[in-house]
Chains A and B, each alone.
Chain A
Amino acid sequence: MAGATLAATQFASAQTAKLTAGEVVDRIKKNLGIPWNATTFRDTYKIGGPESPVTGIVSTFGANLSVMQKAVKAGLSMIVTHEPTFWSDADLIDIIKDDPLYHYKLDYATRNKLVVWRMHDHAHAHKPDLIWAGWVKGLGWEKYVSANDRTYILPPTTLKELALYLDKTLPSGTKSIRCIGDPNLPVTRVASGRNLASMATDADAIINSDTREYDCYEYQRDSVHMGIKRGYINITHEASEDVGTQEVANWIRPLVPEVEVRYIPTTDEFWGV
């Protein structure tokens, strides 16, 4: 209980200390262990700025409205997001400036004094890649990582069981995993890959996310038809990276002891019928 009291005292003092987003970002930059790429178009402020007061920090996949609503309810004013806030990867305002949803979201954030800063490129560039490290830990696969570090040697399972394990374990609440191949395919070696060329793996199964169905699905269809003993699992982008933002939270937390640093999953809202 002493720890909780100390934490409460520390958090209470944040109000008077007036921690700013700029101070938080400075500490992040100083502790990354790699040079900051000042030309990044991703890792910038999306709402608010360096002067914005910080009452707490949320680490999450996307600065979705649903996450903002949770942040407001929890009294945490700074969101460190992995993905865009205003949807396009470059957070382009020109293409959404007439969209009522943009105005709704901006107004909501501004009224509730939220500051949103994106940490994408540098989260990946950190050694180790924080998103990948969070994925491995979140799945409990630390001891299964093989030498080339994006392949895993698992205790024997099947394609269907592996898919269900991902579904059950990943915190983004995904209910929309899709597979190609024999559900009963024995699976031990698992690769992960983003694009068509990575499909040509000699692993038993490959985990893909946010795919292009016209290439990856169609390749896998042909692969299965040829009788190759290989399976394919497609998870959403949230499911593949949201768990990684838990590691970002873990990494930021010791740098900012004055306030709470909380991982709030961006829920994957897709479901199947």
Chain B
Amino acid sequence: MAITAQQVVDRIQQKLGSGWKDTPSDKFISGDPKSEVKGILTTYSPSLELLEKAVASGKNMIITRESPFWSRAVQPHGTSPGFVGPAFANHVYAEAAAAAMAKSGAPAAGGPPGQAGAMAAFEKDAVNVKKHEYIAANNLIVFRLFDNWNALQPDKQMQGLAKALGWEKSYKVASGEPWATNNGSFAVPPSTLKEAAIAIKKKLGSRSMRVAGHPDTRVSRASLGHGMCWLADMQKLCAEPGVDLVIIGEPQWENEVAQYFFDQFDSGRKIGLIALGQEVSEAPGSGEMAAWLKTFVSEVPVQWMPTGDPSWMPY
């Protein structure tokens, strides 16, 4: 029986019930919603390579965490991305900071002047143009499921990552909801920070994982973030009772979040940090998304396809 892309999205919205909220992010980014779906891929960010694999395997709908055109700024269909938009997550200080900045009229921190010309040039950029054309030529449908997936609790991105680490059975919650974002901790096999980092890097297939803290710090209890770690996230992860290992995706911004963490261990606290990288920390969550979709979409194949860590270290 045929199912259209819109029908898939309708079912997602029904499944989320009164939890569904229309947001700028969670939309059809490309393709005709009325198209018949042949197969669905879920992923963190649909790379050009993934799109080629989708075409080769006859799957024409991508349900993605991030936009194929990279930016989180709101993108009207068919146009190029802009700069980083406002933080979508509900971060405690985002409003206060924005108000302080607006009041002062100060320039945005750092960076070279004259961005307007760069935006216009980006519309004609070869990579941007090629990706738009490839999607259109192959009638691919791309739907971004981000804000509503993040709002869904328990946090499936966290659960997916915990499973990928082999930690899901050792989860404990001190207060608040089990598997709420940034909440709870995991008993991990006792080791040094360095040993834990090597094991985790291998387990997750990370190529550019970063570690902070003294390599010989003994670790046995971890708190688990994923994706962007803002200051409020880092504070929460560090405040988890008994934690000596904090795992995140990437710090945002380094001059806020990384500095905070460095102060933690320079204050004498025995604690380590592992920044997995965004893709590595968020990929398993797309596996959870595929499993979730399969419970109410059985007409077509639904497959999780990770894209892997794109970066490497030169050492």
Residues of A within 8 A of B (CB): 37, 39-42, 61-62, 64-66, 69, 83-84, 87-90, 92, 94-96, 99, 101, 104-105, 120-121, 124-125, 131, 150, 160, 163-164, 167, 175-180, 183, 192-198, 200, 209-210, 212-226, 228, 234, 236-238, 241, 266, 269-273
Q: Are B104 and A41 in contact (CB under 8 A)?
A: yes
Contacts A37-B106, A180-B311, A272-B313; A200 near B125 (Cβ below 8 A): yes
CB neighbours (8 Å) of A220 from chain B are 310
Q: Are B310 and A180 in contact (CB under 8 A)?
A: yes
- Does any Cβ of A come within 8 Å of B111's Cβ? yes
Q: What total of chain B residues lie within 8 Å of the partner, measured CB to CB? A: 84
CB neighbours (8 Å) of A180 from chain B are 310-312
Q: Are B259 and A183 in contact (CB under 8 A)?
A: no
A158–B220 alpha-carbon span in the complex (Å): 41
A98–B312 alpha-carbon span in the complex (Å): 39
A272–B198 alpha-carbon span in the complex (Å): 9
Closest beta carbon of chain A to B20's beta carbon, Å? 23
CB neighbours (8 Å) of A90 from chain B are 93, 96-97, 100-101
| Residue in contact with A176 in the complex, picked from B107, B239, B313, CB distance below 8 Å | B313
| Residue in contact with A215 in the complex, picked from B84, B211, B235, B307, CB distance below 8 Å | B84
A94: nearest residue on chain B (CB-CB)?
Answer: B96
Contacts A88-B93, A194-B112, A195-B84; A225 near B48 (Cβ below 8 A): yes
CB neighbours (8 Å) of A222 from chain B are 47-49, 127, 131
Q: Are A62 and B255 in contact (CB under 8 A)?
A: yes
Contacts A95-B231, A222-B127; A179 near B257 (Cβ below 8 A): no
A232–B148 alpha-carbon span in the complex (Å): 32
| Residue in contact with A197 in the complex, picked from B101, B121, B253, B265, CB distance below 8 Å | B121
Contacts A198-B118, A237-B255, A271-B211; A121 near B106 (Cβ below 8 A): yes
Prevailing SS type, chain A contact patch? mixed
Q: Are B48 and A183 in contact (CB under 8 A)?
A: no
CB neighbours (8 Å) of B215 from chain A are 271
A236–B263 alpha-carbon span in the complex (Å): 17
Q: Are A69 and B266 in contact (CB under 8 A)?
A: yes
A63: nearest residue on chain B (CB-CB)?
Answer: B259
Q: Are A120 and B266 in contact (CB under 8 A)?
A: no
| Residue in contact with A214 in the complex, picked from B70, B238, B239, B311, CB distance below 8 Å | B70
A221–B277 alpha-carbon span in the complex (Å): 14
Q: Mark B61-93 against chain A: 1 for CB-CB distance below 8 A, else 0.
A: 000001000111000000001111000000011
| Residue in contact with A179 in the complex, picked from B232, B279, B312, CB distance below 8 Å | B312
Contacts A95-B92, A237-B258; A40 near B106 (Cβ below 8 A): yes
